[in-house]
Structure 1
Amino acid sequence: CLVPLLSREAFVQALGRLGVPFVQCLAEADREIAGLANRWGCPVLSLDSDFCAFDLAGGYCPLSHFQWQSVAAGEGPRGCYVPARCFSVEKFCRHFGRLDKSLLPLFAVLNGNDYVEPAALEAFFRKAGRRGKHGRLQGLLSWLAQFAGPGEAVDSVLKCLKKHQREEMRGLLCAAMEDYTPSDVNLEDFFQKGRYECEAARKSGLPRWVLDALAKGELAPFISDALILRSTFLHVQVENMQRPSAHSTALPIRQVIYGLLLKVPRNTEAASPSKQTNELPVVCEFDRLQKTLKKTFVQAASLPTDFCDDHFPLDKLTEVPMSCRLMLLLETLGVKMSFLESIPSHLQLPVAVTCYWIRCSEPKVKLHQLKALLLMIVSGELHSITNDPDPTIGRAEDDSIAYNEFLKWKEDKLQNKDFDLDAAHSFCQWQCCLQMGLYLNQLLCTPLSEPELSRLYNGTLVHRLYQELKSTPSVENLFSSSPGMTQLYQVLLNTVES
């Protein structure tokens, strides 16, 4: 299942708007979620069935079993509620007789996870006998029920393997089972004191401000992947698989990000010989080549003098003057601040990214694609103005008229199912550029305001606008009832075309 490229960023923004506290874990979050749930006595809400193997005091509630459309009217102080199901380890184990819950991590591992492939244990499953997915699961649980604990069960599993395989497999099984043990990291401290302390963070060697920003979701996991793993994974979208990956357009932006993250001080007299070189750091990127996954080594960009200065390594990046950080962002995107001065502050970053997209995309952006994108951005602005809950903000009558006309147009036109793959590819390129523009802006401590992503981009809408513009150019006047929105559209268009 493909999710929109900017889903994570839109979700983080939504949590912020709603005032929902959250923490972004540095590594796999399952163990830390389980630890916090047990500390608070709460169930875990998730779609990850791995939580069935955790010993959770409050149980596990699969999000797929929430009846969101059936809100029930409760009595007393608890009020209304959404019916759901809660998985209990104790009840599950009772269903299989004497099955000890400490054996569930081994059950999960034997069925295959990131560490142990089922094929590696094929000899064991052949002896277990049962066929079919459900038959094998039931047989495995019934078989595990005869053991008092995981140690005894592991020994029995290993007897089915050749002697030279046993110790290596024992290590793999034990390491994998650890992943189903609730963490002793006290995430409660983060929600109370704003500090995230864990072993992975201590071992990472990352600057304090980077760790704090990662925990607060102010920096994306892409940043920690590049810093710690020296590798990044670029997610595929609905794009033209015969063309180069949509992410290739944003490569120069990523290279600047890598340069900021991995730059080596020039004064290296005390450095090891391997570091006394002028070679730039390299990051391994995983991206698609047509329909296959390809690994590419990408060299970080050489940074301007201000950022190469040894006084500003990564841990001191926040001390670089704001004007220098803004200049690096704008130079990377190929725009000048003077071009953006007529643009509302919250749209300056997406407009700068759009200028970059027009200049760097291949094949070149078509005018109808550009206009569709800008009309979509204006529609988001109109929605914000007419639906702002703040009663002190006045709403012009012409904005309301324009918005109602737009809603009627959208209702009529969204039935059109025509799909242009090349246009989709171009809009994917824009999203890739916006994503990396956001990441660079965040890494530079937001010299430009962040746009509200849920209002900024709507894939279905931009495709419909593009299709309509090809056949009915007058759609460009969609917001003519609102002088303010008409002016905004013209300002945006003039800026990106200049």
Structure 2
Amino acid sequence: MGIPGLTTFIENRADLYMDNYKLHDTSLVIDGNSLACQIYQQSGSNMCFGGDYDKYGHIIMVFFEALFKCKITPYIVFDGGYESRKMKTIIDRMKNRIKAAENMSGVGGHSSVFPLFIRETLRDIGLKWEVKMVQCDFEGDTDIANIARRLGCPVLSFDSDFYIFDGLYIPFTRLDMTVRKNVDSSTKTPYNYLECQIYNIDKFLCSYGRVDKSNLPLLAVLLGNDYVKRSMFSMFYQNLKVQNCHGRHRSESQNRIKSVLVWLQNETRESAIRKVLGRYRKEKREKILESINNAIKGYNCFDSMYLKYLGISPSDVQSKDESINLNKLGDIEEPSEPEDDEEKQSESDSDKEITFSEDNGESKLPIIFKENFRKCLYPPCFMDISFRHKYYCIAQVEDVTADNAYVVSFDIISAIFKILTGLSEGLSCIGRVGRLVGKMDVPAHNGPLPTLEEIENMDNTKKQKVFFKILNLDDTFKDCLSLFPYSWHIYILAIKYATDKSKLNWPLVYSLIMSKIIISCIDYRTGFIRSVATFMKKYAAKLGEPVETKDVPSSSQDVSDCLNNISTIDSIHCMNSLIHYFQKDQKVASSYKFFDRNLVHSISEFQSILLHLKYLNNLLQRPFHDFCVSGCLNCTFVYNFTANLAKRGNIENYLESVLCKAPTVLRTVFAVINSVKEFGTVSTENVNPPPKKRKKKKKTVTSIADDASNDESEGEAWIDPNNKFCLLQSSDTGK
């Protein structure tokens, strides 16, 4: 949720409402969705290429390590599926993110278009660190506050709703993850702590004449949130005395917050509600009072159905029913002014969204589904698929003239839908269609698939057969997977599926493989370093030592053996040659015209496939080894390295020159590629090595690799029979 303008209002007065706090030896309830976004922003990772998950995963591990050093026990609570009453907000945000993604390029850095895997990465690393986590069925803010009340500990988030809940709240921007040391003055015992600032709700209320805490839910409703639009109370605001904020804090939203606070300081909850309802005619009061009562119920609950999933016993405090009814309020005066146009328009706009918010009826969700969902074994979209028969696509950086990057995964998504619901058709994807938000009907999956209950009783071999059947693979592909470690299986399956369904070409295949090798193997030997300066400071002496000339070993070895036999010195030389690809290229950062949106679109399609294969694997109870994307993918590296390889006439010769001082790494790359080629992972029609460079004359022949995003390029692709060239011949000989 979120209350517009409230975070800014509090942050601008942080010295009045925040207390310095040493966080240690305590529980901490964490808003998982908020944490995922905030940590990604702190990681300094690029968003325009699709996500630097290795950097992101590293920061998550640093975060958990800091908590444990300070004896802080984290409880992470994730949101689940979308609520019907929030659909208009969801669609509006989707529109904004699609627009932001369209405008995104290598120039500039800030955007709200977060990478596809950020929540999965946090959850996977949390499971590895044995952090207690739960996923709510739907919106989780109320449960986060209630769990924190039960534990008597702070909430960590960056959601303005927590300024209204009566509890301890640490905004993420007010937490320093640097572990500090101190000594307890009474016991003389040393301890570690994290420095932060904690929100003091009593100071906030006292600064406005001691506003009664019982009025906090009404404050949230009047200011508007994701569930109740402020325009519902336009008649109330027309009669509210405006209080002006001063100095640089002045704005309409800031003045509005101050005005409501000043008005509430002399009101009880009943008198305030009576005056609000008095601005509306009788037929509308019941609807407005329902919104107010929902807020009261949410903000004043002291228990949660999810406590047991976190190993917490229920609260002894019984939640009270503090809802207000019209009879209890007594006589309410009739309004003197007619209904205004803004309120009518708000209702009209709400009606227009029914095409996105209609439900297919409440599904009878199996108990096994609910349990797995709440234990974070299923993604949140499974609730929308099962309960509403809709799938809401997360916006990515794409080519808006091409199909949505989710379309390539429709075969997988339709199979997931059938397993969850037993239905072959009826699933709609809500996401980018062109430049707008629209519906995409997912094709029916007509083959037989097991139910959730049947999956429970299946052995691993049968589950793998179901997996292969959905991907339209035969059992012989297991021979390919057998050459790789278990942690590679889904990754290789994603490459195979992507080449069958999209335009994954050799430069991109090499880059995806190189990304996986570096992150999963090379980093293990060199340590996690992404700065050229830091790397040189640590390894300059090693790089200066003489290198023995070695022949490139045979690439016919088992891939697992090759990965295990990569030497440390070869890892150092490999990173010396490739580390700069992890940084944004200055040419791309300097001008929009150098940003290859077509390449990013291909990376987005691969991510979509990888994500949905992960979902399918989890739904089938992991017949293949699960993976964490932070151990596979850095999209900045993939983008840069692919762009470089696309210029090379012979990729293998180029790699031999680049990795000449790292023969064990080179052997591993060739072993992986040869296995991919042997089992037809990259189909010949998708193998598009770049053309040889020609002298620049008239622009009648253009390289796809160089000019794929050039609007002036027109014509048809021509593929050389030897698969050495892919040229774009102009259809207009007069050009």
Q: Please say if 1:140 is aligned against 2:281.
A: no
How far off is 1:194 after superposition? 11
Q: Please say if 1:4 is aligned against 2:183.
A: no
Match of 1:260 in 2: 419
Q: Please say if 1:44 is aligned against 2:155.
A: yes
Question: Aligned partner of 1:334: which letter?
Answer: N
After TM superposition, list the pairs within 5 Å mapping 1:50-449 onto structure 2. 50-56=161-167, 59-69=168-178, 71-76=179-184, 77=189, 79-130=191-242, 132-149=252-269, 151-185=270-304, 187-192=306-311, 205-263=364-422, 280-304=424-448, 307=449, 313-335=451-473, 336-361=477-502, 364-383=503-522, 385-386=524-525, 399-413=567-581, 414-417=583-586, 418=588, 419-449=595-625
How far off is 1:475 after superposition? 5.1
| Aligned-partner Cα distance in 1 for 2:312–2:260 | 44
3-state SS of 2:197 partner: coil
Q: Which structure dedicates a bigger proportion of its chain to helix? A: 1
Distance 1:387 1:449, change over 3 A: farther
% identity of equivalent residues: 24
Question: Aligned partner of 1:138: which letter?
Answer: K
Match of 1:493 in 2: 673
Distance 1:343 1:20, change over 3 A: same
| Aligned-partner Cα distance in 1 for 2:603–2:565 | 33
CA contact (8 A) 2:211 2:264 kept: yes
How far off is 1:431 after superposition? 0.2
Question: Aligned partner of 1:19: which letter?
Answer: E
CA contact (8 A) 1:342 1:491 kept: no
How far off is 1:166 after superposition? 1.9
**Residues paired across the two proteins, number:** 459
Match of 1:269 in 2: none
Question: Aligned partner of 2:289: which letter?
Answer: R
Q: 2:635 aligns with which of 459, 470, 481?
A: 459
| Aligned-partner Cα distance in 2 for 1:232–1:496 | 32
How far off is 1:155 after superposition? 1.8
| Aligned-partner Cα distance in 2 for 1:112–1:371 | 50
Question: Aligned partner of 2:192: which letter?
Answer: C
Question: Aligned partner of 1:290: which letter?
Answer: G
Root mean square deviation, CA, Å: 2.5
Distance 1:157 1:409, change over 3 A: farther
Question: Aligned partner of 1:174: which letter?
Answer: N
Question: Aligned partner of 2:191: which letter?
Answer: G
3-state SS of 1:85 partner: strand
Q: Name the TM-score, length of structure 1 as normaliser.
A: 0.86
Question: Aligned partner of 2:293: which letter?
Answer: C
3-state SS of 1:74 partner: strand
Question: Aligned partner of 2:402: which letter?
Answer: R
| Aligned-partner Cα distance in 1 for 2:485–2:564 | 18
| Aligned-partner Cα distance in 1 for 2:369–2:564 | 43
| Aligned-partner Cα distance in 2 for 1:494–1:466 | 19
How far off is 1:435 after superposition? 0.5
| Residues 212-267 of structure 1: CA deviation (Å, up to 9, x unaligned) | 22122111111122111221211011111221111111111100100111115xxx
How far off is 1:19 after superposition? 2.2
| Aligned-partner Cα distance in 2 for 1:296–1:412 | 40
CA contact (8 A) 2:389 2:427 kept: yes
How far off is 1:493 after superposition? 2.0
Distance 1:162 1:479, change over 3 A: farther
| Aligned-partner Cα distance in 2 for 1:347–1:357 | 15
CA contact (8 A) 2:170 2:199 kept: yes
3-state SS of 1:488 partner: helix
Distance 1:438 1:398, change over 3 A: closer
Match of 2:13 in 1: none
| Aligned-partner Cα distance in 2 for 1:481–1:12 | 38
Larger radius of gyration: 2
Distance 1:369 1:34, change over 3 A: same
Distance 1:321 1:68, change over 3 A: closer
> Structure 2: which 5+ runs fail to align?
1-111, 245-251, 315-361, 529-562, 589-594, 681-735
How far off is 1:426 after superposition? 0.1
| Aligned-partner Cα distance in 1 for 2:441–2:120 | 26
Q: Which structure dedicates a bigger proportion of its chain to strand? A: 2
How far off is 1:40 after superposition? 1.0
CA contact (8 A) 2:150 2:303 kept: no
| Residues 63-100 of structure 1: CA deviation (Å, up to 9, x unaligned) | 0111335x443223462322211112222111111311
Distance 1:329 1:158, change over 3 A: same
| Aligned-partner Cα distance in 1 for 2:231–2:597 | 39
| Residues 124-179 of structure 1: CA deviation (Å, up to 9, x unaligned) | 11211427111110110111121222x33222111122333222222122224433
CA contact (8 A) 2:574 2:662 kept: no
3-state SS of 2:439 partner: strand
Distance 1:383 1:217, change over 3 A: farther
CA contact (8 A) 1:72 1:81 kept: yes
CA contact (8 A) 1:384 1:455 kept: no
| Residues 405-462 of structure 1: CA deviation (Å, up to 9, x unaligned) | 2332344343524332111000000000000000001000000001231010111111
| Aligned-partner Cα distance in 1 for 2:598–2:114 | 19
3-state SS of 2:567 partner: helix
CA contact (8 A) 2:525 2:571 kept: yes
CA contact (8 A) 1:45 1:60 kept: yes
How far off is 1:396 after superposition? 7.7
| Residues 441-496 of structure 1: CA deviation (Å, up to 9, x unaligned) | 10000000012310101111111111221345455345555555434323432343
| Aligned-partner Cα distance in 2 for 1:204–1:434 | 28
| Residues 370-403 of structure 1: CA deviation (Å, up to 9, x unaligned) | 21111111112223542689xxxxx989532232
Match of 2:732 in 1: none
| Aligned-partner Cα distance in 2 for 1:422–1:379 | 25
| Aligned-partner Cα distance in 2 for 1:256–1:451 | 21
